[in-house]
Each structure stands twice: as structure tokens, then as C-alpha cells.
Amino acid sequence: MTLFLIVLLPFVGALVPALTIRAGRDVCAAATGLISVTALGLLLAQAPAVMQGEVVHARLDWLPWLGLNANFFLDGLGLLFAGLILGIGVLIILYARFYLSKTDSMAHFYTYLLLFQGAMVGIVLSDNILMLLIFWELTSLSSFLLIGYWRHLPEGRQGARMALAVTGMGGLAMIGGMLILGDIAGSYDISVILENRDAIQASPLYVPALLLILLGCFTKSAQFPFHFWLPHAMAAPTPVSAYLHSATMVKAGLFLMARLWPVLSGTEIWFYLVATTGLVTMVVAALIALFKDDLKGLLAFSTVSHLGFITMLLGFGTPIAAVVAVFHIINHATFKCALFMPAGIIDHEAHTRDIKRLGGLRRLMPVTFVIAAIASLSMAGVPLLNGFISKEMMLEEASHTVWLGSDLFVPVLAPVGALFSVAYSFRYIGHVFFGPVRTDYPAKPHDPGFGMWIAPAFLVTLVVLIGVASDAMVGDLVATTSRAVIGSSELPYYSLKIWHGVTPALFMSIIAIVGGLVLLSAHRPLERLWRAISVFEAKAVFDAVVESIAAVGRRLTDGLHDGSMSRYAGVFFVTVLAAGGLAYFGGAVGAPTRDPLPIAVVPAIGWLLLVICTGCMIAYHRNRFLALVLMGVIGVIVSIGFAYLSAPDLALTQLSVEVVTIILLLLALNFLPRETPRESSQGKRLRDAAIGVVGGLGVGGLVYLMLMSDFAQPTISAFHLENSKTGGGGTNVVNVILVDFRSFDTFGEIIVLGIAALVIYAVTETVLRGETGRRLARWMPPEPGAGDRHPLMMVVATRVMMPIAIMVGVFIFLRGHNEPGGGFIAGLIVAIALVMQYMASGFAWAEARQRFPYHRMIAAGVLIAALTGIGAMIAGRPFLTSAFGYFQIPPMEEFELATAMAFDVGVFLTVVGAVMLSLESLSRIARHAGETVNLEPMDVMPEETETPEKETQ
Amino acid sequence: MELLVASAIGVLTAAGIYLVLRQRTFPVIIGISLLTYGVNVFLFASGRLAVNLPPVLTKTAEGYSDPLPQALVLTAIVISFGMSAVIVMLALVAYLSADTDRIDMGAEKGEEN
């Protein structure tokens, strides 16, 4: 369970910065830090068991038959990575508190940071590859937010976009690879996959799976040729670079290679792909780093180089190389993070990161100098620091690696990479801190406050301690992690000590350090040469590729989407008809199995009316008012049809919906043109008519065939009929289905209805505020309105009818459970009663007498329905289970009370609220368009008729 | 009776499709409403037709019509009101802000056949 908590904590905690920022920046940072510290504490509490060789599991089955489980496990590898993520996370939160300027939104930053942290922890603790993939994508998304944090800077936005494009693309490839892998192993659980090495490597799908997964790892870990996104991501604030781009996210690719190392490694293709990519990346990136003038650019390429270093070791496929890889992951995280933070400090204090404009900072910023120098020396691989030991061990492994039959290729190139590494490390020290103090810094540099240097100082302390006493410091951690990576409890012989004797690696080290120093001393001429030969700019290539893909996409979209809605609709109908035709002509239709019902005279007349009205609709639809009248007739016939065919509830609903729909369309028609012009050519009309006729024939034929044959299988309706009274306590089965059997459906539907009404409300609000609202205010009605807008007879009649109509509504509602009726119908009836007041006395008059707003009514309705459902859960039953009982209060008859009735109240309120909010919104537009507001309920008040006459006299 | 219901649905559908393919918002809305009638009756009819057998339990009833499609169609009718209201609103707003109720964007260059 603790594992769930560790993963969830950062996600839940992502709310904390926004909640605490009002209490000040210190409180916000402290609260955020506390989240990470708590998660770290929970993790460390598990550490002793893991160090003993135990693997902590946490399982939560969600859809086990699909392999979708929320399973977490913690072994040595997970512990190391989760520890790095949370531990360095705490330091970064501290550092960022002082790094961010007053104008930067701290709450945003910490929220993104915690989201990222949660996603990273999720990756390293997942025991299910599908869940791992989700966390993987989450890191891409949250890092997008972090890199683009300074959204006002174009570099930040471009860098974020590039990072997302490259890592996102890799992530997509990886999804494919992981699915193949899970398919081969027969399980998506990592712990199961890890036990199926032989089956996986023997599978013909091993190579495609490997290629896809490596694509994901290489893009994430910025391996050549996907390395180019990382330097551009340096537009991010420095805490982000230090966190994501040195210690955590870019190591996700390495983590995955290490995680799957037991099953994927050891084959030739693994060796040549991974080791070669790593080697090339290490050398090329180190060379580029040497000539980067941007301090963070230098560090970015050095990171790429060191990631290549670790990738190469994993690629070697030998257990001892894997141990070295693990060790270097620890070392790199410590010294690289401790290098990024001083770079941020320098940027912060000197207002530039350009190495050419720096120099001589040793005297001005002594504390920063000491921190940066120690970390740099470790990166260069100078003895007594941790970087030295892992580099020594790497060179030792490289010295006896044979590549394509050549025993010189790797042993020569590896020290060359190390040599460049020494050169750029010393450049960081020499060109930034040494040399004369200058007078032309953009700002006067000085050491920052304690808060900003304590985090890197802590890290360099670790650098020194691990360097001096590696075994005591991290010996157990390396051993435990390595066992997890190798997948066996047997570790190869290795020793984490400074002096390994006179070995080839020692000579390589010496050559690298001396060569690196020589290279640096010749930096100026070499740089001119480099500038002359390097014409290749990865960003330009990337932009060109993206642009050409976008151009193809644009052409395709523009071709298909030309803005002609009727064409889309036509294509849609033709496609559907073709699919239906294909099914019809490809299948067999059985003979009718039911006897048709006799045709009575009255239904036949109704049918004739419907057909005539529909025909008239086609002929006269250009007269819009007439079209509405015809639509009303059709609706009424449909309602009567429902009543005739044993569906009283449907008849009631259809009738009342018909009324509100027609009123709604009338209100809208007030502003729309009264006529539809004749635009389409004869040919197009014929074509559309043909589509319509074919569609009508198809649907009609389908319905006829369906009606004439029995159900292929017994339906579930019998269950509802049987249990309606005994289980749901009502005799109106339709209503019991709505509020009881399928009340979850109904719950969803009233929410949809409420959302639709809120959309209408929101659209109205937006429109009335904008340009359209101003235009509307100048709107003139095309014809004069009725002289008697609020006729006396109508006002009086509706007032008298209002209580009666509402009583009918209440009656329909109350009887709904046992007789036709219920919340939907009652809601519509009450809405109609209210609308009548609007129509009779005008919108403004009615609104002034309205006690509560309709959107609150919708909310109340949905809440009541939800609370009814939750009530069942409190009583220990599933959501929305209903209960009922019979009561008697003398002298009344016995009556029934059911919780379903409370649910129906929710339905009722939502329906009234939604219908009224929609109509009200349209009326608001009318009012905005200059419709006058009357203060009296009718135009001519009977008792005041004397007064105007007197005045006129 | 089956023939009447089936042909009525067919007629409604045919008219609905024809109107949806028009160029202005209002006939399209009317067309969608006609299609809605057709679809709702279609769904209702999937429970097969019955006369004088309402699904209200009584001691004397000889049988009941299928209640399940009725319950589904009941909510469908109400939801289709919500949908109509939204598209009516959008049509109105589009007309007020663009001063035309054509449904085709870029009508100048769009096909006019």
C-alpha cells in the first residue's frame, strides 16, 4: 500500500502549491518540499527490506482479463531511481525557491514539478508495462509544461515543442514495442516478462519489439541521432534543467534499458545497436560540448555524452558492465546536478551564461567556484572524486570489448570520448572562473544567498565522499541495484576503489587527462576550425522535416475539409447507406415470423396526415413559419402514435417536448430570416432527393423486416416486468426502469441535459458581451411587432392556469411510479406552465418574479440524484440501489414511499432547469435586441385605463 | 400496422435527409428534428408493436408491450430536445455574428452546384 501512496502523493500534492501560494512563497515552497520529503520518507522506510534482497509488491487488479492492473513493485533499481527522483526533487524545490524571480508564478512551477515527479516515480515503480507507458507519456507532457514554463520566451516554447515531438514520437514507438513484448511474454506484468528471457529472445517478434522499445529509450535519453532536442530544452529555467535533464527524465530511457536488461540484452543486435549508439553519442556529444559557449549548452551536450557512456555500458551486455552503468548513474546524477545549479547561479548573478563574456569569477564568487570546480573535476574523472572511479571502470570494460572483429575500435574511441570530456570539464572551470576579473559583466556577480548554494554544496559533498569512500557510501546500493538489473543474485567480481593497480584503464585515464588539457590549451584555433567545418544544424533539419510533414497534412486536410457542411453530410449519408446496402445484399433475410397487426381506420388517417405533412414540408420548407407548423403537426401525430401503440409515457413526453421545441424554434426564428432562398440547382436537389429516397427506403424496409420477425434471442424485458413491482415497488415499468433498474443511465442523461443547457447559457453570455452583442443592440425587427404584445385575456388566462398546470405537474410526478408519468414528464409540464407566464407577460416581468436562477436548479437536480445514489452506498448497497416501503397516516389510504422518488425529484428539477435555461437564454437575446421591458403584467391595466385618457384630453 | 409504422419512419427519414443536405441552418435543424422522430420511433418499434398493452402492471392485463425500448426512447426524446436547443442556439449565434445563415464556410469558393 505504501507504494501506491508514494506514487500518488506527488500527484495529489500538485494541488498544494496553488492552495498555499496565497500564504507566501516560503510557505508554498515549504509545503511543496514537504510533499516530496514525505514521499521520500515513505520510500526510505521500505529501503531496509529492499536492501536485504526483498521485492515489495503492491497489487490492484482493475481489468485483469485485459492485463490492466495497477501493480507496483520496488526492487533495487526502483529504489535507486525513486530515491534519486525524490531526493534530488527536494533539493530542486529548495533551489527553485531562490532561483525563481518575483514575476515568475511559483505555484505553476511547483505544480508542474510535482506532476513530473509523480510521473517519474510512477515509471520506476510500475510493475505493469501498460501503466508504465501512461506514466512515460505523462513525463513527456509534464516536461513540456516545465520546459515551456517561461512561455513568453519563443526559445522556451520552441524547445518545449521540440522535446515533446521527439520524446512523444519515441513514446509512441515504445507503446508498439511494449505491446509486442507483453504479447510474447503472455503478460503485461514486468515481473512476469523478466522471467521469460528465452521465449522473448527466440520469438521472431523480438527484433521489432527491441527496435521500437529502443527508439523510445533513445529519444528519451537523447541518444544520437535524437540528441538535438536536449540542448534546445535548456531554454527551461535552470532548476528544470538540473532536475529533468541531468538527473531524472533523460535517465528514464536508461532506466527502461536497465529494467528490461535481463530479457533484452545479450544478443548481437542488442550489443551492436545499444553499445554503438552509446559510443557514438558519447564521443560526438563530448566534441560538440567542447565548443559550446552557452554554459548550459555545454552541460547539455556533456549530459548527452554521459548518457551515451551509460548506454554503451548497458549495451555491452555483460553483468560487470551493468554494475558500472549503475554506479555511473549515481555519480552522474550527483555531479551533473551540482554543475547545473552553479550555472543557474552564474546566470542569475551575472545575467549571462555566455562563456565568452565570463571569466575571473573565482574571486567574485568563491563559494560557487568551489562547488563548480569539484563537480567539474569529478566530471573530468580526476582521482579522489566519484566520476573518476566509474570512468576507470568503464575504460577497463571498454579495453577488452571486441567490435565487429576489431579489438581496437572501442578501446580507442572510449578514451577519446573521455579526453573530450576532460577538455570541456576544464573549460567550465578555466574559462568561467579563472583568468582576469573583467569589467564588462552584464551585472556585478557575487555569491548568492545560502538558500541557493546549499543544495549544490550538499551534492558535491556526496561527490567527494563517494569518491573517497565509495564502498562505504554506496557499495550496498550499487550491489542491490545491480542484482535487480542483472536479474540474478550472483554479482560479478568488482571493487569500487580508487586504486585498481597499473591497468590499461589507468594509462587511458592518464592519456585522457593530459590530452584533454592539451586540447583546451589549443581551444582558440580549434574553435575557428570547428566553426569552419560545422555547417550542420540539427534544429534547421528538424524544423524543415516538421514543416514538410505539416504541409502534407495541410494539403490533405484542406482537400478533404473544404468547409462545405452539406458535402460532409452527403458523404456521411452515402457511406452509411452503402454500408447498409452491403450488409443487406451480402446477408440473408429470414421469412416473416410474426403476424401483422390489423390496420384500423384512425391510425390510417394519422399515417396519411403524417405523410402529407412531411410531403408539404419538402415542398414548402422555404417558408420557415409554415415549416414549424408542419413540424408541430408531425410531432403531435407521433405522440398519438405512441399512445395508440401502448406507450403512454412516451406520448406524454413527446407531446410536452413538442411544445417547448416549437416555442424554442419560434424564439429563434424571430431573429433568423423568415424565408430560405432557393439556392441549389435542380441537379443538386435531385441528387439530394435521391439520397433521401434511398435512405428512406432502406430504413423503412429495415424497420418492416425487423417488425415482422421475432427476437433472435429472448430479451431482458421479461426480467423488468417480473421484478418491477416486487423489486422496484412500482407498477409503471417504464418509470421503474428509468429511476431504478437503469437509473445510472438516467443519471448520466440528466447530466448531459444540464450540460446542454449550460452550454446554451454560456454561449449566450459570450455572445452578448462581444461584437455580436453590440450588433444585436442595433438590430431592427424586419416587420412591426404585434400591437397588443401582452393581451389582457391571455395574461388573465395564464395566471388562472398556472396553479392548475403546476398541480397537474405535481400529480403526474407523484403517480409516475405506478401510472404513466414521472419526473421527466412532470418537469416538462411545469416548464410549460412557467413558459406560459413568460409568453403572456414578457420575459422581464416574469424574471423579476423568479426566486432562484435556473442553473442552480440544474445543479440541485443533479446533486439530489447523486445524493440518492450515494445514500444507497452509505447503506452498504451499490450506487443508486433503491428502497421502498408502504406507510399509512390515518385517515388517508395506504401510500408508498420509495427512494427512487427522491431520484425522480432530481430528474424533475434538472428537466425544469434545463428547459427553462434554454428558453430564457433565447429571451435574453431578444431583450438585448431592444425588446422593451414592461413593468406591468399586461399592456393595458384595467384599473388605470382612466388616467391616459385624462391626459390626452 | 407494421407497414404503416415502417413506411412512416421511411418517409420521415427521407425528408430528414433531404433537408439536412440544404444550405441554410434552419432547414437543417428541421431536417435533424424529422430524423429524430424517425430514429425515436425506430428505437421504440424495436420492442415490436402492440395495441392496448401498456407496460403498467395490472391484475387483469393479458400481456405487456416491451418496456425497455420505451424507457430508452423516453430519455432520448428529452435529450434530443437538449441537442436541438444547442444547435438552434449555435445557428442563431452564427447568423447574428456572420450575418448569414449559410452552413458552408467559404461559400464563395465552395461548390455551388
ipTM: 0.94
What pLDDT does residue A641 have? 94
Q: Give the whole-angstrom CA distance, residue A684 versus residue A28.
A: 65
Burial readout B65-92 (b: 16 or more C-beta within 10 A, e: otherwise):
bbbbbbbbbbbbbbbbbbbbbbbbbebb
CATH number at residue B23: 1.10.287
Three-state SS for B56?
strand
Q: Do A820 and B89 touch (CB under 8 A)?
A: no
Residues of A in contact with B112 (CB under 8 A): 679, 681
Q: Give the whole-angstrom CA distance, residue A778 versus residue A471.
A: 83
In a domain, residue B54? The reply is no
**Nearest-5° Cα angle at A383, A380 to A385:** 75
DSSP summary character for residue A712: S
Residues 774-793 of A with CB under 8 A from B: 775-776
DSSP per residue, A205-262: THHHHHHHHHHHHHHHTT-TTSTTHHHHGGGS-HHHHHIIIIISHHHHHHHHHHHTHH
Q: Give the whole-angstrom CA distance, residue A231 versus residue A814.
A: 70
Backbone torsion region of residue A936, taken as left when φ is above 0, otherwise alpha when ψ lies between -120 and 50, otherwise beta: beta
Closest-CA distance of chain A to residue B113, Å = 6
Provide the number of structural domains found in chain B: 1
How far from the centroid of its chain's Cα atoms is residue A724's Cα? 42
Q: Do B45 and A733 touch (CB under 8 A)?
A: no
- Residue B108 in this model has a pLDDT that exceeds 50: no
Q: Which of A734, A897, A882 is nearest to A819 (CA)?
A: A734
Residues 730-749 of A with CB under 8 A from B: 731-734, 737-738, 742, 745-746, 749
Q: Which residue from B3, B8, B56 is facing A819, i.e. has the nearest CB?
A: B56
DSSP summary character for residue B66: -
Q: Give the whole-angstrom CA distance, residue A634 versus residue A652.
A: 15
In a domain, residue B43? The reply is yes
Search chain A and give the residue with CA nearest B48: A707
Extract the C-alpha cell encoding A192: 512476469
What pLDDT does residue A818 have? 87
In a domain, residue B53? The reply is no
> What φ, ψ does residue A807 adopt, rounded to 5°?
-65, -40
Say how many Å lie between the first and final Cα of chain A, rounded.
Answer: 90
Residues 697-736 of A with CB under 8 A from B: 697, 699-701, 703-704, 706-708, 710-711, 715-717, 720-721, 724-725, 731-734
Q: Give the whole-angstrom CA distance, residue A460 versus residue A471.
A: 17
Q: Give the whole-angstrom CA distance, residue A905 versus residue A727.
A: 20
Proportion of chain B in helix, strand, coil states, percent, rounded to 5? 65, 5, 35
Q: Do B24 and A677 touch (CB under 8 A)?
A: yes
Q: Which residue from A599, A614, A720 is facing B11, i.e. has the nearest CB?
A: A614
Extract the C-alpha cell encoding B28: 437543417
Residues 635-664 of A with CB under 8 A from B: 635, 638, 641-642, 644-650, 653-654, 657, 660-661, 664
Three-state SS for A126?
strand
What pLDDT does residue A590 have? 80
Residues of B in contact with A700 (CB under 8 A): 6-7, 9-11, 13
Length of chain A equals 953
Q: Which residue from A599, A734, A764 is facing B4, i.e. has the nearest CB?
A: A599
Residues 192-251 of A with CB under 8 A from B: none
Search chain A and give the residue with CA nearest B39: A699
In a domain, residue B73? The reply is yes
Residues 602-631 of A with CB under 8 A from B: 603-604, 607, 610-611, 614-615, 617-618, 621-622, 624, 627-628, 631
Q: Do A642 and B49 touch (CB under 8 A)?
A: no
Q: Give the whole-angstrom CA distance, residue A904 versus residue A822.
A: 7
Q: Give the whole-angstrom CA distance, residue A235 versus residue A156.
A: 5
Task: Give residue-wise pLDDT tens across range A420-465.
Answer: 999 999 998 988 898 888 888 888 888 888 888 999 999 999 999 9
Q: Do B15 and A668 touch (CB under 8 A)?
A: no
Q: Which of A307, A242, A501 is nearest to A393 (CA)?
A: A501
Choose the mutation target among A562, A566, A909 for the interface with B, i.e. most B CBs under 10 Å: A566
Whole-number CA gyration radius for chain B: 19
Residues 913-942 of A with CB under 8 A from B: 914-915, 918, 921-922, 925
> What φ, ψ does residue A785 adopt, rounded to 5°?
-75, 175
Q: Which of A919, A914, A898, A816 is nearest to A861 (CA)?
A: A914
Q: Give the whole-angstrom CA distance, residue A733 versus residue A720.
A: 7
Closest-CA distance of chain A to residue B36, Å = 10
Q: Which residues in chain A come in under a pLDDT of 50?
A: 946-953
Choose the mutation target among A573, A653, A722, A747 for the interface with B, i.e. most B CBs under 10 Å: A653
In a domain, residue B57? The reply is no
**3-class secondary structure for A589-637?**
CCCCCCCCCCCCHHHHHHHHHHHHHHHHHHHHCCEHHHHHHHHHHHHHH
Handedness of CA A696, A697, A698, A704 (dihedral sign): positive
Closest-CA distance of chain A to residue B82, Å = 6
Number of Cβ pairs < 8 A linking chain A and chain B: 333
Q: Do A642 and B44 touch (CB under 8 A)?
A: yes
What pLDDT does residue A948 have? 46
Q: Do B15 and A738 touch (CB under 8 A)?
A: no
Residue A791, number of CB atoms within 10 A of its CB: 15
Choose the mutation target among A676, A697, A709, A907 for the interface with B, i.e. most B CBs under 10 Å: A676
**3-class secondary structure for A360-412?**
CHHHHCHHHHHHHHHHHHHHHCCCCCHHHHHHHHHHHHHHCCCECCECCHHHH
Q: Which helix (H) or strand (E) holds A63?
A: strand A61-63
In a domain, residue B104? The reply is no
Search chain A and give the residue with CA nearest B65: A646
* CB burial of residue A445 (10 Å; 0-12, 13-18, 19+): buried
Residue found under cell 444540464? A754
Q: Do B16 and A692 touch (CB under 8 A)?
A: yes
Q: Give the whole-angstrom CA distance, residue B84 versus residue A789.
A: 27
**Orientation of helix A154-185 relative to helix A538-560, angle to 10°:** 80
Residues of A in contact with B83 (CB under 8 A): 756
Range of the domain at B28: 2-48+64-98
Q: Give the whole-angstrom CA distance, residue A287 versus residue A223.
A: 14
Residues of B in contact with A704 (CB under 8 A): 2-3, 6-7
Handedness of CA A658, A660, A664, A666 (dihedral sign): positive
Q: Which residue from B30, B71, B80 is facing A621, i.e. has the nearest CB?
A: B30
Residues of A in contact with B12 (CB under 8 A): 610, 614, 634, 696
Say how many Å lie between the first and final Cα of chain B, rounded.
Answer: 41
Extract the C-alpha cell encoding A109: 512551477
Residues 886-915 of A with CB under 8 A from B: 911, 914-915
Choose the mutation target among B18, B52, B105 for the interface with A, i.e. most A CBs under 10 Å: B18
Res. B110 pLDDT band, cuts 50 70 90: very low
Q: Do B67 and A680 touch (CB under 8 A)?
A: no
Search chain B and give the residue with CA nearest A684: B113
Closest-CA distance of chain A to residue B60, Å = 13
> What φ, ψ does residue A369 adopt, rounded to 5°?
-60, -45
Whole-number CA gyration radius for chain A: 38
